[in-house]
């Protein structure tokens, strides 16, 4: 599989999805207050957050997380959302992706439906249904089916396991979540639906990707500009669900 490269690339000044540029003074880095007593890793994370233009943009625009900008950038390029779609967001807390999906499907203005699931409580999204529970619970699947009207046009998953700092371990844990999300998508996607999920690249995802290739017309890796350059994080986007199973169908591997 070939990486499609950055979505919403960077050159010169950093740009948010709104098109605004962020330029800081050369060599000047803002430092968080109250750093004393914190672990070095925590100090680095806080400093990075404070100086990240996408964090600033997300806050300014009222998004619950910078992840919302990642979904915006992916959708700007691949045009996944359409008004009236039924969308399911797995691991939806704190709700940034649901905010974007709500706006782009025009939730509340027609037939659009939006469902979120998480083990944690998620703040209300107007006209969306949010369930607290485990996506592997069979009863949860029935709740989601009822909420979307049977099948969904798209399944989203920004789920990732808590990182340990050991990349091979983090990769395997996130791949396990990808498998769970994919199983859920197979159960609820309608024909030609799409699946977008976090995917730490590292080799172990090969089997999961092979399954996806046999069940979708197109499978590609995408890495939006709002995803940090030094992160192993990327996303896998599968479109044109046909659910033919292993060994059937022709896979169209996209390069862009």
- pLDDT tens digits, one per residue of 98-124: 999 999 999 999 999 999 999 999 999
User: How many Å apart are CA 92 and CA 235, to the nearest integer?
Assistant: 16
Instruction: Identify the active-site residue in 15, 198, 213, 223.
Output: 198
Among the ranges given (18-32, 33-47, 71-85), the one the predictor scored with the smallest mean pLDDT: 18-32
**Domain spans of the chain, in order of start:** 3-9+65-253
Percent of the chain topping pLDDT 90: 53
Pairing of the two strands 86-90 and 21-22: unpaired
Q: 33 vs 182, which has greater pLDDT?
A: 182
> Model pTM?
0.76
Mean pLDDT of the residues in the chain: 79
Q: How many CB atoms lie within 10 A of CB 248?
A: 10
Distances (CA, A) of 181 to 34, 86, 188: 39, 17, 11
Q: Which of 205, 227, 179, 252 lies closest to 70, judged by CA?
A: 227
Model confidence at 7, in pLDDT bands (50, 70, 90)?
Answer: low
- Fold for domain 3-9+65-253? Rossmann fold (3.40.50)
Q: How many CA atoms lie within 13 A of 197 on its CB side?
A: 33
Residue 156 confidence (pLDDT) above 90:
yes
Q: How many CA atoms lie within 13 A of 207 on its CB side?
A: 6
Q: How many CB atoms lie within 10 A of CB 53?
A: 19
Among the ranges given (128-132, 150-154, 167-171, 190-194), the one the predictor scored with the smallest mean pLDDT: 167-171
Per-position DSSP letters for 11-48, written without gaps between them: -SSEE-TT--EE---TT-----S--TTS-HHHHHHHHH
198 an active-site residue?
A: yes
């Amino acid at each position: 599989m070939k990486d499609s490269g950055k979505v919403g690339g960077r050159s010169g000044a950093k740009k948010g999805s709104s098109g605004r540029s962020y330029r800081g003074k050369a060599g000047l880095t803002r430092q968080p207050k109250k750093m004393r007593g914190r672990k070095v890793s925590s100090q680095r994370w806080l400093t990075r957050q404070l100086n990240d233009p996408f964090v600033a943009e997300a806050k300014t625009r009222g998004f619950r997380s910078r992840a919302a900008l990642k979904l915006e950038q992916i959708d700007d390029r691949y045009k996944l959302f359409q008004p009236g779609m039924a969308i399911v967001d797995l691991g939806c807390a704190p709700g940034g992706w649901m905010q974007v999906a709500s706006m782009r499907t025009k939730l509340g203005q027609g037939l659009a439906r939006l469902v979120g699931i998480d083990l944690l409580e998620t703040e209300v999204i107007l006209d969306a249904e949010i369930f607290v529970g485990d996506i592997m619970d069979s009863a949860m699947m029935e709740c989601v089916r009822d909420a979307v009207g049977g099948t969904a046009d798209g399944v989203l998953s920004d789920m990732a396991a808590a990182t340990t700092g050991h990349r091979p371990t983090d990769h395997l844990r996130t791949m396990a979540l990808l498998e769970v999300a994919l199983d859920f998508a197979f159960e609820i996607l309608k024909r030609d639906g799409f699946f977008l999920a976090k995917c730490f690249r590292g080799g172990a995802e090969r089997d999961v990707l092979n399954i996806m290739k046999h069940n979708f017309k197109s499978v590609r890796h995408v890495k939006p500009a709002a995803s940090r350059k030094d992160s192993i994080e990327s996303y896998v986007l599968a479109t044109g669900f046909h659910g033919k199973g292993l060994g059937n169908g022709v896979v169209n591997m996209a390069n862009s």
